[in-house]
Amino acid sequence: MTKLVTFQNGDDVCAGELVAGIVRERIGSLPNPEGFTGREFQLDEVNLLAPIQIPPSVRDFFGFEEHVKTARGNRGLSVAPEYYQIPVFYFSNPSATIGPNDAVKPPYGTEKLDYELEVALVIGKDCSNVDVRDAWEYVSGLTIMNDWSARDLQFQEMAVGLGPSKGKDFATSIGPYLVSLDEIEDCRNGDRHRLEMEARVNGRQLSRGNLGDLFWTFPQMIAHASKSTILRAGDIIGSGTVGTGCILELRPENTGGWLMPGDEIELEVERLGILRNRVDN
């Protein structure tokens, strides 16, 4: 396997594999397609969509300790001791999943739109009560994820003790590819992968980190998420924001402010590609 994609050719939505700038159409749907139709398209002939169009579920974790420390420290808060006891996550909105080059429409009323630089995995087969030692067996691949956030809405609702909900459920970008684990085996260090991560706004680099800095590993996330429930093929599990990976951490006064209509955000992760979106006018 290499880089799996979902693409649109005319009015048809297809599954494929990207090889040297050519999309080879596959029979079946991601994340476990089998066989080829024999049709090939140049990459510039097709429109890449989110690798998983409407995932069964989207769970986003708090995997990076640096992000948690900085984001909470900016508000005068310390890290809750429970953070070091269990990997925690929230459920996002599967129906709001968008792909590379899609426009992001901010929710009504927000004045504090933010990006979040993350990596996500896609579950490849149904599983339950997964042992952390076996967790990679259930992973179809990795992709880039932007967990868009309306910070003013998010903190208003979370002050009540629930959420985030409306501050998050308007858009989650994933893509451009779903990269199988064998493609990044040489970057693996135990249960972590050393992959450089970068975020740019209008071409200006704001964030830089590394996937290898995860405090909670992906296998630990899978084991926790699958306890006493079923994970379905196509489920998305997000890493959480890498350290420095959002305006909230960096502070808007240091970045030129919150995101505005017309801004182009590029998230680049080594070996996983570039996920590019523009804020809708």
CATH number at residue 142: 3.90.850.10
Residues 28 and 70 in one domain: no
Mean pLDDT of the chain: 94
For the stretch 148-171, pLDDT in tens is 999 999 999 999 999 899 999 999
Residues 61 and 73 in one domain: yes
Find the domain containing 245 and state its range: 50-279
Give the pLDDT band (50/70/90) at residue 100: very high
Q: What is the CATH number for 29? A: 2.30.30.370
Residues 184 and 230 in one domain: yes
* C-alpha to C-alpha distance for 42 and 46, rounded to whole angstroms: 7
Instruction: Spell out the residues 6+ positions from residue 167 whose beta carbon is closer than 8 angstroms to its own.
Output: 107, 110, 149, 150, 151, 152, 153, 154, 155, 156, 157, 158
Residues 138 and 271 in one domain: yes
Residues 19 and 110 in one domain: no
Give the count of domains, the chain: 2
pLDDT at residue 30 in the model = 55
* C-alpha to C-alpha distance for 132 and 227, rounded to whole angstroms: 11
- Higher-scoring residue by pLDDT: 33, 109: 109
Q: What is the pTM of this model?
A: 0.95
Residues 16 and 116 in one domain: no
pLDDT at residue 35 in the model = 60
For the stretch 205-257, pLDDT in tens is 999 999 999 999 999 999 999 999 999 999 999 999 999 999 999 999 999 99
- Other Cβ atoms within 10 Å of 27 Cβ, number: 11
